[in-house]
């Protein structure tokens, strides 16, 4: 929505809307197409589909492409209209973000260090940078930033933490500006361990397959792979930073979310983590929401969330144990996210119903008031009432 894997996605979650009654590829948007995508692209079986149609949350592991990857999908059917489901999803994302992020902010169109003025790096984290070297650093950083921290900071000075914080914010803002201008080719190469991690290669692999985006919004999926080129009309980019408490250390991350909004009845987003100072090498989140009017039956919406994350810690001898812990937490958090979406969608429906009832009651009371008052006036034929009205009219005319 935000657990180790999923906790990051939720803060990244932004949605987009397709053409009413049709997907961006021009084909009719139908429930059968959505269910086929679940079967053919992400491995849902008959039992999964049956549970989904009953309103249960369905969570499955996806086939991972590398050993250090955790990949999961969650889906739920919401027995409400698209607009109500969207309200429920918006509130879920906002709630989970507030619960998980200690600090949060958005970048301006041209990111600067000032955009991160609310970000306060952990004191212990800054102290770890004193011994940071290429291939031996407790932060995920590029060789360039590691070098600048060692050259420009006097680590024996009292202001060393403040100086290091300023350099980090300056360099991260410059890094994000380069990415916005040039795309994945400008992404960082992590040099904190002997495993060098080029994020451009990571996302070339992770973006290769975009379920629900490829099949329903082709031009958008092309843009997600070639950012910043080829943006179809209606695409928005959001860049944010956040600090999330995970395990023993807070994680500072920078996220890019692409949103596409050409119409109504469907929403999609692609979010990727372009920087995280601990634990995770790369993270990709896909969100899709489809709504169907019902045609005489109750309307229904389908919410799908896909998370793929890679972590260097999963490649070691303890990788299997760590994977089990991460997957358990990720599944629990995804269950919570989808359950919250159901809860908040139902609440949005109740609030809408209550608002409609209040408005109807006000109209009824007003109608009742005027109807009763009209009846009183029409029925008051007594000489006393008529005399009073006549007296007032004559006095007004005379004045």
What is the distance between the alpha carbons of residues 329 and 114, in angstroms, rounded to a whole number? Answer: 35
In a domain, 171, yes or no: no
Q: Which of 21-25, 272-276, 310-314 has the lowest mean pLDDT?
A: 21-25
In a domain, 149, yes or no: no
**Listed residue (251, 255, 217) closest to 238, CA to CA:** 255
pLDDT range class, residue 21, cuts 50, 70, 90? very low
pLDDT of residue 39: 95
pLDDT digits (tens, 9 = 90+) for 197-233: 999 999 999 999 999 999 998 999 999 999 999 998 8
Is 56's pLDDT higher than 50?
yes
pLDDT of residue 380: 32
Percent of the residues in the chain that have a pLDDT greater than 90, as a whole number: 61
- Residue whose structure tokens are 């973000």: 97
pLDDT range class, residue 352, cuts 50, 70, 90? confident
In a domain, 388, yes or no: no
Is 349's pLDDT higher than 70?
yes
Task: Identify which has the larger pLDDT, 99 or 172.
Answer: 172
In a domain, 305, yes or no: yes
pLDDT digits (tens, 9 = 90+) for 286-314: 999 999 987 767 899 999 999 999 987 77
**Listed residue (221, 223, 229, 224) closest to 182, CA to CA:** 229
**CATH number of the domain encompassing residue 30:** 3.30.530.20
Q: 247's torsion region: left (phi>0), alpha (psi -120 to 50) or beta?
A: left
Beta bridge partners of 244: 101, 251
Number of domains in the chain: 1
Which structural domain, as residue segments, surrounds residue 197? 6-121+191-351
In a domain, 74, yes or no: yes
In a domain, 160, yes or no: no
**Structure token pair of residue 240:** 């944010």
In a domain, 197, yes or no: yes
pLDDT of residue 118: 94
Q: Which of 8-22, 245-259, 308-322, 361-375 has the highest mean pLDDT?
A: 245-259
**CA dist 64 to 41, 42, 220, Å?**
14, 12, 24
- Residue whose structure tokens are 């060789």: 143
Is 62's pLDDT higher than 50?
yes
pLDDT digits (tens, 9 = 90+) for 176-192: 999 999 999 999 999 99
pLDDT range class, residue 7, cuts 50, 70, 90? very low
In a domain, 87, yes or no: yes
Q: 239's torsion region: left (phi>0), alpha (psi -120 to 50) or beta?
A: beta
Is 371's pLDDT higher than 90?
no
């Amino acid at each position: 929505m935000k657990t180790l894997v999923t906790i990051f996605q939720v803060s990244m979650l932004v949605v987009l809307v397709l053409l009413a009654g049709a997907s961006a590829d021009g084909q009719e948007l139908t429930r059968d197409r959505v269910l086929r995508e679940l079967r053919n692209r992400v491995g849902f079986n008959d039992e999964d589909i049956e549970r989904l149609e009953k309103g249960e949350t369905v969570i499955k592991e996806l086939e991972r492409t590398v050993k250090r990857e955790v990949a999961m999908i969650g889906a739920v059917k919401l027995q409400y209209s698209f607009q109500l489901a969207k309200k429920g999803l918006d509130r879920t994302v906002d709630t989970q973000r507030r619960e998980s992020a200690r600090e949060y902010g958005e970048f301006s169109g041209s990111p600067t260090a000032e955009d991160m003025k609310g970000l306060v790096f952990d004191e212990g984290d800054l102290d770890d940078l004193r011994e940071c070297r290429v291939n031996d650093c407790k932060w995920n950083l590029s060789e360039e930033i590691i070098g600048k921290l060692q050259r420009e900071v006097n680590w024996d000075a009292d202001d060393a933490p403040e100086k290091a914080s300023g350099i980090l914010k300056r360099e991260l803002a410059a890094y994000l500006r380069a990415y916005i201008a040039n795309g994945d080719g400008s992404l960082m190469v992590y040099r904190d361990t002997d495993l060098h991690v080029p994020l451009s290669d990571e996302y070339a692999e992770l973006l290769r397959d975009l379920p629900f985006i490829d099949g329903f919004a082709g031009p958008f999926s092309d843009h997600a792979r070639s950012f910043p080129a080829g943006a179809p009309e209606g695409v928005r980019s959001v860049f944010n930073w956040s600090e999330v408490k995970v395990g023993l250390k807070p994680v500072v991350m920078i996220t890019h979310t692409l949103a596409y909004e050409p119409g109504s009845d469907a929403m999609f987003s692609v979010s990727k983590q372009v920087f995280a100072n601990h634990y995770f090498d790369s993270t990709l989140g896909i969100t899709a929401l489809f709504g169907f009017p019902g045609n005489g039956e109750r309307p229904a919406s389908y919410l799908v969330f896909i998370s793929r994350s890679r972590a260097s810690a999963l490649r070691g001898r303890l990788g299997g144990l760590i994977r089990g812990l991460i997957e358990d937490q990720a599944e629990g958090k995804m269950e919570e996210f989808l359950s919250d979406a159901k809860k908040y969608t139902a609440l949005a429906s109740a609030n809408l119903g209550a608002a409609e009832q209040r408005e109807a009651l006000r109209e009824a009371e007003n109608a009742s008031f005027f109807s009763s008052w009209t009846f009183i006036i029409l029925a008051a034929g007594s000489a006393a009432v008529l005399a009073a009205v006549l007296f007032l009219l004559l006095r007004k005319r005379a004045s």
